[in-house]
């Protein structure tokens, strides 16, 4: 099991032109802790929607790399999105689940991935062309490389420890997050 | 049109979407939207995205807008119920959202299971802060969809057009 903060920091190091969407709760704090950036779209709600926001963004900007970082609970709520994404399979989209098998925000209750559910197998079964299950530093390095250069839709789960590091709270105003993200892409209002 | 008796309002909606520079269309199939979906899928300039549930389309449209593209969402009224919490994404971030909703549970409905959600649809949308427009007759469809599209993208708000079951016609079994 990996440390969530270190894992996210590793994935976002030297991010280049990577666009990031992160699911509500701890993944948003992890991405903020790695360094705020106008090209981060933090979610504070809309549970189950992160991967689909990534799909819309990846289809709109085929020349950019898009990374969705979310948790196992958020992915489980919108698991059908994996089938929807596989049907379009944009090669510039990576969905990475920080999997601690817990609903962290609500008291650490065990999620389905604490039991028999394997999200990487779900993604593969949906037809996502590249799937990875990351459990160590070497796997994390390989994933960081794939997020930048894979030529196919990628899904990865990273096995992380269930501890809760101190919260790092980024901007919460949704309209402001939207405006700054678009401005960073040079899109006028 | 292959069938001279087929209504042309779906083709008119398609023309509005094209004029409105819609680049992505998310949909859960509905018989009432069959012709429009066919047109969307045949257009190489539009990404057609078949959804497993309608709420995915709200998030898809948000992502499209973040990337500078416009999306529309097609569904039947039962799907509106699936969207409620995800509509807060559009509301909180002021994402433009255009929903084209074919109605069930109205005139000519044969299946009572469709009635409760059909009846709740306009109020559920209004409670979620979505502007609600309705088209009853074929000649109203084009201008109604155009008005909804304009306010959605120019005003960065959510707008839905309810396409009445009378317009779509009685389902034949």
B65-82 pLDDT, tens digit each: 999 999 999 999 999 999
Interchain contact B151–A (C-beta under 8 A): no
Q: Mean pLDDT over all residues of chain A?
A: 97
- Whether B2 has a pLDDT exceeding 80, the answer reads no
Question: pLDDT > 70: what percent of chain A?
Answer: 99
Q: Which of B3-7, B12-16, B108-112 has the highest mean pLDDT?
A: B12-16
Q: How far apart are CA B79 and CA A2, in angstroms?
A: 39
Interface test with A, best of B21, B25, B67, B98 (most A CBs within 10 A): B67
Whether residue B92 and residue A175 make contact (CB cut-off 8 A), yes or no, is yes
B27-71 pLDDT, tens digit each: 999 999 999 999 999 999 999 999 999 999 999 999 999 999 999
- Among residues B156, B154, B149, which one has the least CA distance to residue B89? B156
What are the structural domains of chain A? 4-184 (3.40.50.970)
pLDDT of residue A189: 67
A66-122 pLDDT, tens digit each: 999 999 999 999 999 999 999 999 999 999 999 999 999 999 999 999 999 999 999
Interface test with A, best of B23, B51, B66, B129 (most A CBs within 10 A): B66
Chain A residue with minimal CA distance to B61? A56
pLDDT of residue B4: 54
Average pLDDT for residues B108-120, to the nearest whole number?
92
Closest Cα of chain B to A83: distance in Å?
A: 7
Categorize the per-residue pLDDT at A62 as very low, low, confident or very high, splitting at 50, 70 and 90. Answer: very high
Within A39-180, strands assigned E span 40-42, 66-71, 93-99, 102-103, 109-110, 130-134, 154-159
Within chain B, strands assigned E span 22-27, 47-50, 70-76, 97-102, 131-135, 158-163
Task: Check if CATH label 3.40.50.10860 holds for domain B9-168.
Answer: no
A126-153 pLDDT, tens digit each: 999 999 999 999 999 999 999 999 999 9
Interchain contact A27–B (C-beta under 8 A): no
ipTM > 0.95 for the complex: yes
SS percent in chain B: helix, strand, coil, step 5: 50, 20, 30
CA angle A85, A91, A95 (to 5 degrees): 55
Domain boundaries, chain B: 9-168
Q: How many CB atoms lie within 10 A of CB B82?
A: 18
Whether residue A178 and residue B95 make contact (CB cut-off 8 A), yes or no, is yes
Q: Please enumerate in sequence order all residues whose Cβ is within 8 A of that of A14, keeping only pairs 6 or more positions apart, or say none.
A: none
Interchain contact B44–A (C-beta under 8 A): no
Q: Mean pLDDT over all residues of chain B?
A: 95
């Amino acid at each position: 099991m990996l440390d969530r903060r270190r894992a996210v920091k590793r994935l976002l190091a030297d991010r280049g032109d990577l666009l990031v969407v992160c699911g509500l709760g701890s993944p948003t704090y992890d991405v903020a802790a790695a360094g705020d950036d106008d090209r981060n779209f933090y979610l504070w709600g809309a549970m189950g929607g992160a991967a689909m926001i990534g799909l819309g963004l990846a289809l709109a900007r085929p020349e950019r790399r898009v990374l969705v970082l979310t948790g196992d609970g958020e992915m489980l709520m919108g698991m059908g999105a994996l089938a929807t994404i596989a049907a379009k399979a944009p090669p510039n989209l990576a969905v990475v689940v920080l999997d601690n098998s817990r609903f962290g925000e609500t008291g650490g209750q065990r999620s389905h991935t604490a039991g028999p559910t394997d999200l990487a197998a779900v993604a593969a079964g949906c037809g996502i062309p590249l799937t990875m299950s990351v459990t160590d530093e070497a796997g994390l390095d390989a994933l960081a490389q794939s997020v930048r250069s894979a030529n196919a839709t990628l899904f990865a789960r990273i096995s992380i420890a269930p501890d809760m590091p101190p919260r790092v709270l980024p901007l919460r105003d949704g309209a402001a997050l939207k405006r700054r993200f678009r401005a960073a892409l040079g899109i006028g209002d | 049109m292959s069938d001279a008796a087929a209504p042309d309002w779906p083709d008119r909606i398609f023309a509005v979407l094209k004029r409105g520079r819609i680049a992505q269309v998310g949909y859960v199939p509905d018989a009432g939207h069959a012709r429009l979906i066919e047109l969307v899928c045949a257009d190489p300039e539009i990404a057609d995205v078949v959804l497993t549930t309608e709420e995915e389309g709200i998030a898809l449209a948000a992502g499209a807008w973040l990337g500078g593209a416009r999306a529309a969402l097609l569904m039947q009224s039962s799907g509106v119920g699936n969207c409620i919490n995800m509509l807060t994404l559009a509301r909180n971030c002021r994402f433009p959202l255009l929903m084209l909703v074919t109605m069930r549970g109205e005139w000519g409905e044969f299946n009572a299971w469709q009635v409760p959600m059909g009846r709740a649809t306009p109020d559920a949308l209004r409670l979620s802060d979505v502007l609600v427009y309705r088209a009853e007759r074929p000649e109203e469809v084009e201008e109604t969809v155009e008005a909804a599209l304009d306010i959605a993208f120019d005003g960065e708000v959510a707008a839905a057009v309810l396409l009445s079951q009378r317009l779509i016609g009685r389902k034949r079994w």
